[in-house]
Structures are given as structure tokens and as C-alpha cells.
Amino acid sequence: MNNLSHLIVKSDWSAVWRTLKSSPQQLSIPVSTNSKETVYPLHQAVCITTKPVSESILDMMIRSYPKALDHNVFLGACQNPHFSRDSMEMLLDSASPQLSQIIHNHVYQFTSIAVKRRNVDIVDLFINRYPEILLQSSGNILIHACLYGTGEIVEMIIKAGYDNKIGQGGGLFHKNQDGEDALDVAIRSFEHSENEKKQITESYNILIMCLQYANAARMGKKEPAPNYPIILSAIEWCPKLVLGKIIKRNEHEIANKDQVGKWAILKTIQFILSPLEGEKFSNKRLPDIFHSQILIDACTSGTPDIVQKILQKQSYLQQCGEEKPEEGVEEGILKQKLEKENNKNNAFEISIKLYDENDNDRCEILRSCVQYFNASRLGIRFPLPSSDNVYPTLLAASGLVPHQILTSLGRKYKHEINMRKINRTGKMAIEKVLQLSKEMGQFAKRLDRRLQFPLHVKKTLSSELMRLDLNSIPELLEV
């Protein structure tokens, strides 16, 4: 080993500088290695990780012996997790036209190596200097980053995708040859990483980053709002089992929130637990009371007081609440045989069909029906015991009525939600509920929980997935 090579291995850059000044010809002497390719001191210098070479020494090496600057130098630099952006820029600027073309042809290879080495600065340099890499057919750099990079690198690539207008979600939805996109890969990587404790933290960070940007795109935004609740970003994007783990990690986002905010978060989770098929709620999921002829008659004739008393009585009988319902409804009417042969003949659909925003009775009938339906699904009391603790009709109706009627109910009962008293998380949850409800009205069949965003892989919705236990969420079910 010649003197210069020995000094480079020791990272004694002061001595390297003096040697280059006095004996620059040593740069042309190949270093003895086991490699079949010729290795010069410049190759050694870019690979040093403990104390990376400075730009000034690199510049002197290149000017003294430019022949050493070849494809292998760039490979070595990309494999160095501590190689600086400025040093890489100097190498790129010093390359000959022929070498520059080689680099351009192999830029995906260089960038993917830097991703694996988690060198954020080099990845940033390449994707901004060669934006075509974001759509290169040789590979999906974002998916590669989801497998081997960091949350910071993933966010950097997504932002670059937005800046270069490569598609919805900054490239999140571009699939690879296996039909997977970045979010699919991030979910799978997170699930597998649980067996490797060293990887689970970074795989979790990557998953959350993908969820935040995917959800922002779904909400019509370029980037997630600062400190956007992770639970909200994950809902309707990942399997129930993964969602449950995310909720457990972020219980603090739910604790100590205002009541309306808790209801809104629970409602968003409900969209996962009780999937709908198109605009109409499956009659198999309808509470039996809606098939009662007397309730059907009350909804048809437009008598809101009777509708309210029937539903309140049914709720009392089912939950055995402490407060007795109002008198005036005979026990026998709730014991009659429920007719289900004609699935279209039910009180809930009648209340929707006859709804009229300008008719207070029709509004109250539908309001009672959606409040009962929602309470039945969430396991909460109907009606709530305190007049000061009103479950917002807007939230109750979300996912149960067409979006046009939901908007109308929101106007009619806007006084139930005092936005000034709802914290930021609660407001975001309400926004998410309305978005999910709107999507349900826009798509006839919910074959893909991600709707127009082509992100879903069938295996992530396996029927064997563990059902999320809402009771494990602190305070969420308290009314």
C-alpha cells in the first residue's frame, strides 16, 4: 500500500493534503485490492465513512488526476451514508460529458443505493437534479424508499412528486409490476417489521408518512395539516388490525378531547367497522324496529312525536336504561311480528323518501330515525340523557343518508354543533366524517375502500383480520 492510500484509510486528511501537494502523482497509482476493476485513491476517499473527505481535497484529487473520476466513484459515494451533498454536487459538476450520460442512465441505481444507505441529502440531490427518476420505468423510487428508507426520505420523494406534477398524491398511487403502490408496501413492511424490533420504528414512521399524504390527497389537499391526527389519517386506508395498532400508539389524540370531537372520531372508526354497499344501507343491518308496521305508518303519516316515542321505547327495552320513556306507546306495538319479506318496505327508507327540509315534521322524523339508527350501531343511548349533551344530527346521519340530504340536515340542525367550542382535532374529525359520507354517495359499489384512489390490495382486507375492539379506546365510548 502506497503512502497516500495508507493515509486515506486512516482518514488523516491533513497528511493527505500535504502528500498531494508534494507528490500528486500518487493519485495515478492503483490501490492493491481484490477487485477486478482498477481502484485509485479517489475511490478510497469517497468511501471513507468515519471522517468523510472534504470538498477541497476531493477537488484537488480530481484536478490532479481526472481519469480516476469514473462510474465506480459515484457508486462508492452513494454507498457512503455520510457523504455530503456538496461533495456529490462537485463530483457531478466535474464529470465529463460521457460520464455524465452514464450517470444519467444509471441515476435510479445511484438513488436507490443512497436510499438504502439512508443518506437524505444525496437522495434529495438526485431526485431534484434528475426529476425523471420519479417516473422511471426501471423502478419505483418511492416504493423502494418505503422498503429501505426513512420517513423523512419518503416525505421528500412525495413532495418532489407534487412539485413535478407526476400524479395524485405525489406518486403515492403509482403501482409496481406486482400491482402494489407505496401505501400497500408501507403497510406490508410495517406488518413484517414487528418481528424485527430494530426496523419497526422506521417502518412505522414510513407508514404514517404515507397515510398522512394519502389522506391529505383524499381530502383535496397537497400536504397534511400540521399535527394532523394520525388516527384520522389512518381510517379507511389500512386494515383493521393495523388501524387498531395505530390507535393504541396514539391514544393521546383521543384522550381529553371535547365530547363532539370524540363522537366524530368514533364515527370515522365506525366507517371501517360497518362498511356500506352503495348509498342504501343494507336492510340486513337495519334495526328490526324499522320493519314495524306501526313505525312505518307513523313515518308515512308524518307524526314525529309518535316516531320518537316508538324509538325511545324500543331503546329502553333493549338497553334497560334507568330513565323510563314517555308514556303513550303501548307495549304491544313493539311485540308485533316484524314484516321483512318486502325489504323496501321499512320506516327508515320511508323517512328518507318523504324528507322535506321545509317541513319541520318531516325533518324531525328523519332526525329521530338517523339518531336511533346511529345510536344502535354505536351502542350509545337514545336519546342521550341530557338536553345539553346532544349528539349532532349531522354526525348521526353521516353514512346513513344520501349526501344531499346530509347537507340539508347539517343546515337544519347546525345549532347542535358549536364550532367555537370544538377543538382542532374534533373539527378535523368532522371534516373526515363528511368526506367519507360524500364518497359513499359518489360510488355505487364500495368494492375498494380507497375508492378512486387505486391503492388497495385485496389481502389487506382479509376476512381473517382481527375486529377492532373500540372498548380499548380510552374515553371514546363514554357519553
Tens-digit pLDDT profile for residues 182-205: 999 999 999 887 655 656 789 999
pLDDT at 199: 63
Using CA atoms, how far apart are residues 267 and 429, in angstroms rounded to an integer?
9
C-alpha cell at 88: 456529490
C-alpha cell at 349: 327508507
**236-268: b (≥16 Cβ within 10 Å) or e:** bbbbbbbbbbbbeebeebbeebebbbbbbbbbb
pLDDT band at 471 (very low <50, low <70, confident <90, very high): very low
Using CA atoms, how far apart are residues 48 and 327, in angstroms rounded to an integer?
85
First to last CA, the chain: 77
CB 268 within 8 A of CB 399: no
pLDDT band at 34 (very low <50, low <70, confident <90, very high): confident
Name the average pLDDT for the chain: 81
For residue 343, what is the DSSP state?
A: T
User: 3-166, which class in CATH?
Assistant: mainly alpha
Tens-digit pLDDT profile for residues 335-364: 444 444 444 579 999 999 999 999 999 999
Mean pLDDT of 431-449: 61
Kindly give, in sequence order, each residue whose CB lies less than 8 Å from that of residue 9, ignoring residues fewer than 6 positions away: 1, 44, 48
Tens-digit pLDDT profile for residues 71-93: 999 999 999 999 999 999 999 99
Task: Write the CA distances from 469 to 64, 106, 459, integer angstroms.
Answer: 68, 49, 21
Kindly give, in sequence order, each residue whose CB lies less than 8 Å from that of residue 373, ignoring residues fewer than 6 positions away: 281, 286, 287, 290, 348, 396, 400
pLDDT at 256: 57
Task: Write the CA distances from 365 to 77, 206, 330, integer angstroms.
Answer: 71, 47, 19
Residue intervals in the chain for CATH 1.25.40.20: 3-166
Q: What DSSP letter does each residue of 361-373 carry, written as one string?
A: HHHHHHHHHHHHH
